[in-house]
Each structure stands twice: as C-alpha cells, then as structure tokens.
C-alpha cells in the first residue's frame, strides 16, 4: 500500500499542513491500494509564495536554458515511464495500452515544447513597433483525473517554456500517479520554486489558487460547472484563463458511408477511454434510411467488446453511480435500450464497471442527448439530410469535438466546416498534440497545444521606437 502525504514545494518534498486523509481504491477490484493526505490553504499559499519568488529569475532564463530544463524533465519521466503507466492502470483503471500511450505523451510534451523555443515565437516587429511576448507570471494548473499525468505535463510544459513558474493541483483522484510525476520533477532539478505541486481538494487547494492575487494565469481542465465558477472568480484578480471543459461530441455517419466501417469508427470514438474522455463521440447521428443496418452493426460491435480491456471501470464508485443514473434517465425518458443497461456486467461486480450501453430512438431534447455522461453510454439520433445532421450536431451547449464519416471526402469536409466544434476528425482518429485543441461554446475558452498553447502563457508588450 502506498502513502502520499507530502507536497512538492520550493524544490523539495514537504509534509502536508492539511491533515485530512483519504483511502485510495483500485477501481477495477475495489482493493485498498493507498492512503493520501489532502493539502489545505496553507500548503497552497506556501506553493504560490515559492512560485512567486522563483518567477523573476525563471522568466528571464534564455531559451537555451529552458530547452535544457525541459530535456531534464523528459529524461526524468522516461526513467519512470513504465512505473507511471502501471500506476495509471492501478489507480485510474486505464487499459495498459491507453496508460502507455498517454503517459508516453505526457513525457513527449516536454520534448515538443522545446521546438517552440525559437526567437520568432517571442518577438516580432510591426511598422515601428517591437512586439515582445513575455511570460504572464505564476500559473495555476488544475487538472482532471482522466489521464492526469498527461494534463499535468501538457500544461506544465507550455507554461515552463513560456517562462512562467507553476503551482499544480492534480486531481484528488490521481494522487498516486501525481506522486510519481512529482518525484520526476524533483529529479529534473529545476531551480527551487519553479514547479510546485500541492495535492488536495478543488474547493480548498484549487480555490486558494483561483483567488490568489499572486497567481496571474489559470489553466483548468475539468467540468463546465466548475469551469464557469473559476471563470467568474478569476475575474476578481483579472487572471488570464484557459478553460478546457466538457463535451457532447457528435459522430455524423453520412448516408454514403460504408456502414460497417462507420459503426466501428463511431464505437471507437464513443467508447474511447470507456467514454471517460472529453472528446468521446457520445452522440451517433445516423441517416434515418440506414437505421436498421446501423442498429445491427452497433449491437454486434458492442457485444464483441471485452469487459476489462478495452472496457475499463469508472474511476470511482461515485462516478459509477452517476453514469448509472443517466442510464435510468434514458429509459425513463423513453429511449430504446439497444444493448447494455443498468447494473454491472456479470463477473465484474467488484469493480466500477458499467455495461457498454447504446440507446436508439433518442431525440435531441432528451437528457442523455444533451448532458455529458462521461461513461460508456451512447445515444443514436436519426436525421433526414445533411442540413438536419448539422443542426442536430450543433444543438447542444457544448462544442469541443466532432467526427464525420463518409465516402465523399469533399462532402464530409463541407459538413465538418459547418460544425461548431474546436476539432473535427473526418474518417480517421488523429493524435496530434501540436495543433490547437479547445472548445467552442460551453466547452471552454482558449486553446492548448503547440504555439497556441505557448501563447496562452504569454502577455504581449508593444514598444515603439524609431
Ligand atoms: P472537475 O471539474 O470536478 O475537477 C477538475 C479539477 O478541478 C480537479 O483537480 C478538481 O479538484 C478541481 N476543482 C474542483 N472544484 C474546484 C474549485 N472550486 N476551484 C478550483 N479547482 C477546483 O472535473 P473532473 O471530474 O476531474 O473531470 C471530468 C471533467 O473534465 C469532464 O467534464 C470532462 O469533459 C472534463 N475534461 C475536459 C477536457 C478538455 O480538454 N476539454 C479534458 C478532460 C476532461
């Protein structure tokens, strides 16, 4: 059993001032695997003070110096990458394939950030003006549980490359993974105070970071409900915000699609990370004329999925219950259960497993078509023509992601260009952590990854001199 009772503040591990402890269970088995201590406001304030003190020196490091430190961070993670992936399996319930991929990419973020350290990304001229991009200050990084090392490292890589110092509050459901990441940060040996990590609850540690006048930037990934609150609170101290929030992404199957391939694609998009993915394609839009064919293919596809891998457990018992409540809601509101349903799959009662579930006969006004479920529960909605497909796809509060599948690529692109979504994938899953990522509408504000991600941590100063 692992114990996590320290935070990483000002270049060293320090005992938690907060004393509230919590048990950590393996979501696949229910087994007790660890105990952790939540930090409190004092821990958060100490971390913020350390980041503030470190900022003046870190903000003027040269691009070469920062490149070197980013390399050290990547190297430290490389040494522990297998251990980290194993912990992502144990603590989060991820499949080994997914854990290896996201934790590998967590490390890669530091390498990719090195490529952004070019003079032209920090200075340009316009007429007689010299436009300089300067680091915004101390950045508070608040992350969710669905691949926590990936979010922590992605945000930290951009912030550090920009010249910001950081205070990180990992998800309270990911503290064992965060411990390994913290140890890697310690090993990398950046100047004291440049990276600080405080475990704890959002309402306590997160809230202190959000309200602190000594934090100039917030990068939050999580639910829209919390993101809205953070956006409001951040205004008090005029913090810059990046908000990466929820989604209810459509997969539009066009009527010229090869249905077998299209359904396979839609199930991959929908059951990605067992639905615990902000970009999961949780609404499948099927042409009315091909519904029967689609139903057969969907049922067969879902029944072929194996519980355990790729279908992983929900991260917590609370989240399991939340997903169950949406399945009940779908039934109550009159949707037809094609496959799956309430309860746990036979033989997997000890873990937080949900039966992969597909509803048909869903109308876009139903709760299951509008709200983010964040589990393996998909809604099939029919449409008559491309205009109606686009209208249904856009008729939700969210706008994070979308998928289009069809034979005629030009037509698929025309449809894609009408979707209110930050990213659209046509006929293929693309994994590109260098092009901009973020949402329209209630899915958030701002963009992460690549140059857009770097710019989110920079202020612009214009100096005129002839
Ligand atoms: P959450 O909003 O409950 O929490 C996210 C983080 O914010 C956690 O670290 C939490 O402790 C902290 N937090 C909670 N309340 C806070 C407060 N008042 N002040 C400051 N911090 C606070 O989200 P979650 O359940 O951890 O993650 C799932 C959600 O994240 C889903 O809605 C999902 O769509 C979203 N998500 C979005 C993206 C994206 O890139 N758009 C990616 C992954 C997950």
DSSP element (H, E) containing 330? helix 317-332
Ligand 1 is surrounded, with C-beta below 6 A, by 142-146, 169, 171-172, 201-203, 206-207, 210, 221-223, 226, 229-230, 244-247, 278, 372, 374, 400, 439, 443-444
Place of tokens 């059951």: 271
Work out the average pLDDT over 412-441: 97
2-245+443-464: what fold? Aldehyde Dehydrogenase; Chain A, domain 1 (3.40.605)
CA angle 360, 361, 365 (to 5 degrees): 115
Distance 144 CA to ligand 1 centre (A): 5
Distance 132 CA to ligand 1 centre (A): 33
Work out the average pLDDT over 182-195: 98
CA 343 to chain centre: 27
CA 363 to chain centre: 28
Confidence of residue 141 (pLDDT cuts 50, 70, 90): very high
Confidence of residue 465 (pLDDT cuts 50, 70, 90): confident
pLDDT digits (tens, 9 = 90+) for 193-235: 999 999 999 999 999 999 999 999 999 999 999 999 999 999 9
CATH code for the domain defined by 250-438 = 3.40.309.10
Which residues belong to CATH 3.40.309.10 in the chain? 250-438
278, 333, 336, 342: the catalytic one is 278
* Distances 259 to 100, 294, 295, 316, 377 between C-alpha atoms, Å: 31, 7, 10, 35, 20
pLDDT at 100: 97
pLDDT digits (tens, 9 = 90+) for 339-381: 999 999 999 999 999 999 999 999 999 999 999 999 999 999 9
Which residues belong to CATH 3.40.605.10 in the chain? 2-245+443-464
Confidence of residue 298 (pLDDT cuts 50, 70, 90): very high
pLDDT digits (tens, 9 = 90+) for 2-44: 999 999 999 999 999 999 999 999 999 999 999 999 999 999 9
Nearest Cα to 235, choosing from 445, 449, 20, 7?
Answer: 445
pLDDT at 466: 79
Does residue 457 register a pLDDT over 90? Answer: yes
Share of the chain above pLDDT 90, in %: 99
Nearest Cα to 154, choosing from 353, 466, 366, 448?
Answer: 448
DSSP element (H, E) containing 70? helix 63-87
Confidence of residue 62 (pLDDT cuts 50, 70, 90): very high
pLDDT digits (tens, 9 = 90+) for 118-134: 999 999 999 999 999 99
């Amino acid at each position: 059993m692992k114990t996590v009772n320290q935070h990483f503040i000002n270049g060293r591990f320090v005992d938690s001032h907060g004393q509230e402890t919590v048990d950590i269970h393996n979501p696949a088995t229910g087994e007790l695997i660890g105990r952790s201590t939540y930090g409190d406001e004092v821990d958060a304030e100490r971390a913020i003070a350390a980041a503030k003190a470190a900022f003046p020196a870190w903000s003027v490091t040269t691009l070469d110096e920062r490149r070197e430190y980013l390399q050290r961070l990547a190297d430290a993670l490389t040494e522990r990458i297998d251990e980290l992936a194993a912990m992502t399996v144990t603590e989060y319930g991820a499949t080994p394939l997914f854990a290896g991929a996201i934790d590998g990419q967590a490390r890669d973020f530091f390498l990719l950030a090195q490529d952004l350290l070019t003079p032209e990304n920090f200075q340009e001229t316009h007429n007689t003006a010299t436009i300089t991009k300067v680091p915004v200050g101390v950045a508070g990084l608040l992350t969710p549980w669905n691949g926590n090392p990936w979010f922590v490292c992605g945000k930290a890589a951009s912030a550090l490359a920009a010249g910001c110092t950081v205070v990180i509050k990992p998800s309270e459901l990911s503290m064992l993974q965060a411990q390994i990441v913290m140890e890697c940060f310690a090993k990398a040996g950046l100047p004291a105070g440049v990276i600080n990590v405080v475990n704890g609850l959002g309402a306590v540690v997160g809230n202190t970071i959000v309200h602190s006048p000594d934090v100039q930037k917030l990068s939050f990934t999580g639910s829209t409900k919390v993101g809205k609150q953070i956006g409001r609170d951040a205004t008090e101290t005029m913090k810059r915000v990046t908000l990466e929030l929820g989604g209810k992404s459509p997969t539009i199957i066009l009527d010229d699609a090869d249905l077998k391939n299209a359904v396979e694609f839609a199930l991959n998009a929908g059951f990605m990370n067992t639905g615990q993915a902000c970009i999961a394609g949780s609404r499948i839009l099927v042409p009315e004329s091909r519904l029967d064919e689609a139903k057969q293919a969907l049922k067969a596809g879902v029944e072929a999925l194996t519980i355990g891998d790729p279908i992983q457990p929900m991260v917590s018992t609370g989240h399991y219950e939340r997903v169950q409540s949406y399945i009940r809601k779908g039934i109550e509101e009159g949707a037809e259960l094609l496959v799956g349903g309430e309860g746990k799959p036979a033989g997997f009662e000890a873990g937080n497993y949900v039966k992969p579930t597909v509803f048909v006969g869903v109308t876009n006004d139903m709760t299951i078509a509008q709200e983010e479920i964040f589990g393996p529960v998909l809604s099939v909605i029919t449409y008559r023509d491309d205009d109606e497909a686009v209208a249904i796809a856009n008729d939700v509060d969210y706008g994070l992601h979308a998928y289009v599948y069809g034979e005629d690529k030009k037509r698929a692109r025309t449809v894609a260009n009408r979707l209110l979504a930050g990213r659209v994938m046509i006929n293929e899953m693309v994994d590109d952590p260098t092009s901009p990522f973020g949402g329209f509408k209630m899915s958030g504000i701002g963009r992460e990854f690549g140059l857009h991600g770097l710019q989110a941590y920079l202020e612009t100063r214009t100096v005129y001199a002839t």
